[in-house]
Amino acid sequence: MADRAVIFDMDGVLVDSYQPHFKAWQRTAAKHGLELTDQQFAAYFGRTGREFISVLWGDRIPQDQAPAFDAEKEICYRQVLEELFPEMPGASKLLRELHQAGFGLAIGSSGPPENVALVVRCLPAGGLFQATVHGMEVSAGKPDPAVFLLAAKKLGISPHRCAVIEDAPAGIEAARRAGMAVIALTGTGPRSKLDPAHMVVNSLLDLSPKRIAGLIDHHVGATAGKILS
């Protein structure tokens, strides 16, 4: 059984989905006479669709219509994504290396189950994931740590023995609150927003099983030191 694990955020980490999501939200919003700016999208990217709608248009979309609005957007997103699946550079390579090194592997996403299933199916190394968590399995999205804690539970590995790879501030906060080592991937937002992570990289190609194992072991040691003190 694996004694370390890596939990991958999905959007912006495994799949370069920032622009597909933005296009899908804009197209869906426009159909309902609503607008979405770059700044608004960047600020709430990584939250669940339910939270996104509530924060941005809660006063214009009746609560009982929000689920249908969210579902409409996700159908549009999957159509955009399947036109040309944009795998993040190095994603499948890193997954294969981690699998060979004996790491547990999971996806921890705020997205709906259909989106997670699409990525697992389209990603060349997607079959290596031993567990997935989607937004409908938890009561609150990131920065709540529930997504990552459930992923660790499904893998059967202590949260302190897990590293999370994230690209969004909300996800970084969620991983830290879960007690996990956090690796931030640049690209989605300003690098300054990623400072709370334990490690920041520009590409998945910068990572290796040895480097991630070292970070987890250092994190476990630091956590143990805090408990002892």
Q: In this structure, are residues 130 and 162 in contact, taking their beta carbons and an 8 Å threshold?
A: no
Asked whether 104 and 4 are in contact (CB, 8 A), the reply is yes
How many Å apart are CA 185 and CA 168, to the nearest integer? 8
CATH of 18-83, one of 1.10.150, 1.20.1070, 2.30.42, 3.90.75: 1.10.150
Contact 98, 210 (CB under 8 A): no
**CATH 1.10.150-classified regions of the chain:** 18-83
Angle of CA points 21, 24, 30, to nearest 5°: 135
Q: Where in the chain is the domain with CATH 3.40.50.1000?
A: 5-16+86-228
CA distance 3 to 101: 11
Euclidean distance between CA atoms 178 and 150, whole angstroms: 10
In angstroms, rounded to a whole number, what is the distance separating the alpha carbons of residues 219 and 70?
37
- Residue 197: the pLDDT is 97
Question: What CATH number matches the domain at 5-16+86-228, 3.40.50.1110, 3.40.50.1000, 3.20.20.140, 2.70.70.10?
Answer: 3.40.50.1000
Residue ranges in the chain modelled with pLDDT below 50: 227-229
Q: What is the pLDDT of residue 18?
A: 85
State the pLDDT at residue 31: 94
Cα(223)–Cα(229) distance, integer angstroms:
10
pTM of the model: 0.84
Residues paired with residue 131 on neighbouring β-strands, in sequence order = 106
Note whether 30 and 90 are within 8 A (CB): no
Q: Sign of torsion, CA 209 215 219 225? A: positive
